[in-house]
Amino acid sequence: MKSKRMSVAFSLIVNKYLLTHKTYIMKVAVVGATGLVGAQMIRVLEERSFPVTDLIPVASEKSIGKKVTFKGKEYSVVGMQDAIDMKPQLAIFSAGGSTSKTWAPKFAEVGTTVVDNSSAWRMEPDIKLVVPEVNAHVLTKSDKIIANPNCSTIQMVVALVGLHKAYKVRRIVVSTYQSVTGTGKKAVDQLMNERKGISGEMAYPHKIDLNALPHIDVFLDNGYTKEEMKMVNETRKIMEDDSIKVTATAVRIPVVGGHSESVNVEFEKEFDLTDVRKILEQTPGVIVMDDPKNNVYPMPIISHDHDEVFVGRLRRDDTQSKTLNMWIVSDNLRKGAATNAIQIAEYLVKKNLV
């Protein structure tokens, strides 16, 4: 924990230096600035002292002119073309797949590096899919569109990267328990309305309060949902290993903030639980909470407003060899979306790739 805090502190010092350096100019556009994730992105940019000299909040036509506050200063929301004409060095997108497909290339054409939070570019062969703790090394100066992975994939691969290096992952069975914030404000409103007994617009085909929906995104011909297949395909791409077998079941639960995952992982090599804990404790971005006798284990309520991935309930699968059970929790709006995107941007600045 101490080394992780020192690392974050050093990052903040570097960012503050870049921000105050007279010759350093960094225009940053946040596309989808008025949405749940967009607002978090602006908040994280401020918290981490990212070297923004000019913030450009961007949203749909109905939001143009609205005010966004960043570091005590108000900025007016602008439209896409106005933002492109300003030629920002970075554009961080959280505005949906169709919007990204249309506009991200137009930003890239004027030299802007785009970090996109939608699913639009993730599985494109020539687009990098990045979790900085896992595979930031793949980034180059020529990458003008960079994909931010699915929230559930991000927290899982952060927890597994060190273990994969030590033991090599063969197969993952994952079940997710995902917050309504992963759907957006409409879903949060549905949950809160149901708790108050108020009728309102439905984000889901069923009631969500006091319920669990094994249905995230649309169902595909193979019986899995798109969310489940995202975890399958994205994990292999990020871990740079197509041999990893992944099967997933994604479930929405009535929680506001924080995704949880039950992960069963089979390795090629035998492992020792003590060594597993040490590896996890040394993995950047991971906090181990694993003392069940004293009721210490990760929960969504603990992850809320934090950037780390919390891991616990570490135990062997007694039904087969070389197999580990673990419980992984993270704030889906932060590490699962906004913070991961900002960390990609930080890496680009640190390595002079933007």
Distance CA 343, CA 42 (A): 13
Catalytic-labelled residue, pool 21, 164, 206, 259: 259
Q: What pTM value is reported for the model?
A: 0.92
Residue 325: how many other CB atoms lie within 10 Å: 15
Distance CA 15, CA 17 (A): 5
1-5, 52-56, 87-91: which range is least confident on average? Answer: 1-5
Distance CA 227, CA 204 (A): 15
Over range 145-166, report the average pLDDT.
Answer: 98
Q: Residue 196: pLDDT above 70? A: yes
List, for residues 1-19, the tens digit of each pLDDT value: 444 444 555 555 555 555 4
What pLDDT does residue 179 have?
A: 98
Cα 241 → chain centroid: 20
Would you mind telling me the total number of residues written for the chain in this entry? 354
Q: Is 323 in contact with 298 (CB distance < 8 Å)? A: no
Residue 259 catalytic? yes
Catalytic-labelled residue, pool 21, 137, 151, 215: 151
Quote the tokens at residue 34. 């008025």
DSSP H stretches of helix in 56-184 = 80-85, 97-109, 132-135, 151-167
Domains of the chain plus CATH, in order, are 2-120 (3.40.50.720), 153-332 (3.30.360.10)
Quote the tokens at residue 72. 């005590």
Distance CA 276, CA 117 (A): 31
What pLDDT does residue 24 have?
A: 57
Q: Is 114 in contact with 82 (CB distance < 8 Å)? A: no
Sign for the pseudo-dihedral over CA of 259, 264, 270, 274: positive
List, for residues 206-233, the tens digit of each pLDDT value: 999 999 999 999 999 999 999 999 999 9
Half-sphere exposure of 144 (CA within 13 A, CB side): 13
Band (23; pLDDT cuts 50, 70, 90): very low
